[in-house]
Amino acid sequence: MTLSNIQYYFQQQHPLIDDTSYYRKLAIVVGMVLTIFVYIFDPYDNYVAIPKFEIPIKIIQLGYGINTTIVIYGLYWLLFRKLKFSTEHRTWKTYHHWLLLIAILALAGFIGTVYHRFMMDVGDVDTQYYVFVTIPRSIVIAIPLFVITLLLDRLYTSKNTIEASTVAISKSQDNASICESDKKIVLKSPVVNQCVELQPSQIAYIKASGNYVEIHSSETQKVQLLRASLRHVSERLSSYAFLVQCHRQYFVNIQKVQSYKGNSQRIVLQLEASKEQIPVSKSYVKKMLSYLKKQEKQ
């Protein structure tokens, strides 16, 4: 990797993660990993030093992980909740994110060392020991934690990017569907030489009436009659998901439903700008309620 590639990587815009749940989970995961590492390798030489208090070594070692968890979550709270860092109008780049992680782990390492000196009697330690043992040891401990943090960040941002893309695609599809429903179409009678022109999005409901079908418009309150069966018309309008059958004689535009009342056996729909109530028969109640609840969430 050339120097220019490295510069390009660090200058790239990085998603600014401002999520309480994520930092809580990150803090716990990193704290648990550090605790396991300390239990296995004992990098702080706890079994060599003498505890200052009558506390089991295992409990003291657990403290390193707890301290790290508190530091990670505490810095998040300070930056994003207290100082409102994420509300500032600035470009958050990759090198900013790396510096934040390095600061978090460096502070966690420093507090871990202070905690170690507080809990353990290590005697007189000269400067060379700190330079050639303590600092390198802290770096060795920090590297895997840093890598784990980067991987968790990448996983989180990738997941959010996929979800955002899915939402964007869904919205574009909904917009396309709306545009299609606004276009006028022509329905032809299969029996006689007759046709009607209509705009699917403006249909309030469709009702079977003998040998005819009544198509009621929500805008003009106009009723169009077509010599055809309800089944024939519904097949021609099957691509418009908002037109739903609610009764053997009725199809209704769920986007035009203002309210409904009834029970699990039978409900009645009240449409916008219409006095007529549309019945929903027992066999369609469950399906209709599902549609209506989904519509309410949008």
Q: How far is CA 99 from CA 69, 94, 96, 195, 287, in A?
A: 18, 9, 5, 70, 54
Element (H, E) at 268: strand 267-271
In contact, 227 and 189? CB cutoff 8 Å:
yes
CA torsion, points 64, 69, 71, 73, in degrees to nearest 10? 180
Query: CA-CA distance, 17 to 27, in Å (whole number)?
Result: 14
Q: What is the pLDDT of residue 87?
A: 57
Domains observed in the chain: 3-177 (no CATH), 185-297 (2.40.50.1020)
Nearest to 153 by CA among 30, 17, 21: 17
| Angle formed by the axes of helices 57-76 and 20-41, nearest 10° | 150
pTM comes to 0.52
Nearest to 241 by CA among 192, 210, 203: 203
The first and second tokens of residue 244, run together, are 């739903």
The first and second tokens of residue 254, run together, are 């769920």
Query: CA-CA distance, 56 to 63, in Å (whole number)?
Result: 11
Q: What is the pLDDT along the chain (298 residues), one digit of tens a residue?
A: 577 778 777 877 777 777 788 888 888 998 999 899 888 888 777 777 788 888 888 999 899 899 989 988 888 888 777 777 655 556 677 887 788 888 888 888 888 888 888 888 877 766 677 677 777 777 777 888 888 888 888 787 777 655 655 554 455 455 545 556 568 888 999 888 998 988 888 899 999 998 999 999 877 677 899 999 998 998 888 888 889 999 999 999 988 888 888 887 788 998 887 778 899 988 888 888 888 887 776 6
In contact, 211 and 230? CB cutoff 8 Å:
no
